[in-house]
Structure 1
């Protein structure tokens, strides 16, 4: 199986990948828009200058100077954003390492934070996606955290929050949302996954652990079955007015910090991922058109595996210096 690693780069830095829109973004929109923008920036940056200019003129896109960097293997007529449907996975703006393809390629020499790591509060949120095996989550967690540590050039993070599939707070009131939450997710899979998360803390990679979307009954059951208890519980109460009182009471008794967030658990669906990587007008041209026998690109069944969001805040100033996403998908060819 081929693994695809997608990345947004730093979405709060200057450059083509930045998103400047009013209001708060749902995490799925922020992720997909940032990925699409970073793909286009990479296509432009690694394309020959003449080809980028001609493509920009044709498509009404801004000109971006770039160099081929010796990695293409494609002729100038086959490169550039205007011809993204012709790009193969071995194209110049991606990188293959064994069975892993980085989309886009990452210049690790430019990674890292501007100040000493001790000056930051670094929060990472790992989304385990539906239709993936719980037995593989240990590997997924390590892969995701390794990428973040490498991107930020740090040895540990302050907080790792784990989001399991099928969890939410939905209802006409906080009491109803808490009651419905008690029957969501899968207790056995969540408890079976947690030892891999605990190991990350035991190995000194994570200072604190957290979970997301656990109501009072779910949290109570979870706490009784794990060794290292989460110290944070993130909840999204967009569909109800308040934090459920039973959850407030339990969190206070157990010493767990409750945080409100605006993320969504449907962060990267299979259809959205195929659209991002496909041959369409909004796609990156990595995947072949399944309806065409002559279409270039990777073919096979695409399964999103995980998404990780990282945020590095300068502690003294409360400023977000670095924020971005990685996502992983398996392609069974």
Structure 2
């Protein structure tokens, strides 16, 4: 870190919430050169690179120390114009690292604000891992109710799930007021779609998608390590990852990515 530019370090030491936006990874030359082996590795590289660029930016001295610290690069953001909105599909996967329900609305609101849209076309939820070995409907219900409220307020058009087997997907479908439109299946643990899941999804018009995201997207130590490396400040230790939102914007008629990136939120650990 430039010794003459200590403001980022001071801001980090004073803020209570930390928000990071990687910018559009389609256009960021630094990230395009990377070939990550996994989603976790890609996210770690993105956090580190964004922190490095943000810290290196010259900042005018300010007497204000915001509670919510925005770590983003304005020139790296690719907002959607009203003229092109109809031609684009905005899809999101939200990874909750802890059980705070306000995080869902906060993440959706930030995604809409960042991309300059009033509604996300689809949101897939990945709740925090359950305390017990097996996931249950009770574990999913609070998050799903938050998503349903966002559908009713027209912030989201369609909502989906991740890694549900046939029995749990059926339980959710029968209970939910807003039905799941999709369910992601991790092919690392399931090379072929289970026949019972395929049959149920077909009967109730639920799209089955595949993914390769790990159950734990990023460990607490890996997150702190990425922040430390990016800020060149080994004293960073009191931040807890709250949620990670991955978005993709696809041109419908051509099936190509216009933009993709991550939004990350962390909370300061209270002593």
Task: Summarize the alignment of residues 96-111 of structure 1 with structure 2, pairs less than 5 Å apart.
Answer: 98-103=66-71, 105-107=72-74, 111=78
After TM superposition, give the deviation of residue 164 of structure 1 in Å.
Answer: 1.7
Q: Which residue is equivalent to 1:31?
A: 43
Using the alignment, how far apart are the partners of 1:71 and 1:230 within structure 2?
Answer: 48
Task: Work out whether residues 17 and 41 of structure 1, in 8 Å CA contact, stay in contact via their aligned partners in 2.
Answer: no
Unaligned 5+ segments in structure 2 are 1-14
Q: Which residue is equivalent to 1:87?
A: none
Distance 1:31 1:299, change over 3 A: closer
Q: Which residue is equivalent to 2:254?
A: 317
Q: Which residue is equivalent to 2:160?
A: 210
Q: Which residue is equivalent to 1:8?
A: 22
Number of equivalent positions: 254
Distance 1:20 1:316, change over 3 A: farther
Using the alignment, how far apart are the partners of 1:109 and 1:30 within structure 2?
Answer: 17
Secondary structure of residue in 2 paired with 1:16: helix
Q: Which residue is equivalent to 1:331?
A: 268
Using the alignment, how far apart are the partners of 1:316 and 1:28 within structure 2?
Answer: 30
Please tell me whether Structure 1 or Structure 2 has the larger radius of gyration of its CA atoms: 1
Task: Work out whether residues 47 and 230 of structure 2, in 8 Å CA contact, stay in contact via their aligned partners in 1.
Answer: no
Root mean square deviation, CA, Å: 2.6
Using the alignment, how far apart are the partners of 2:95 and 2:245 within structure 1?
Answer: 6
- TM-score using structure 2 length: 0.84
- TM-score using structure 1 length: 0.69
| 1:18-58 alpha-carbon deviations (Å, 9 max, x no partner) | 3443xx742211111112122222233x1xxxxxxxxxxxx
Unaligned 5+ segments in structure 1 are 47-67, 74-89, 91-95, 168-181, 290-297
Task: Summarize the alignment of residues 1-333 of structure 1 with structure 2, pairs less than 5 Å apart.
Answer: 2-21=16-35, 25-44=37-56, 46=57, 68-71=58-61, 98-103=66-71, 105-107=72-74, 111-113=78-80, 116-129=84-97, 132=98, 134=99, 136-137=100-101, 139-166=102-129, 184-278=134-228, 282-285=229-232, 289=235, 300=238, 302-333=239-270
After TM superposition, give the deviation of residue 189 of structure 1 in Å.
Answer: 2.6
Distance 1:283 1:110, change over 3 A: closer
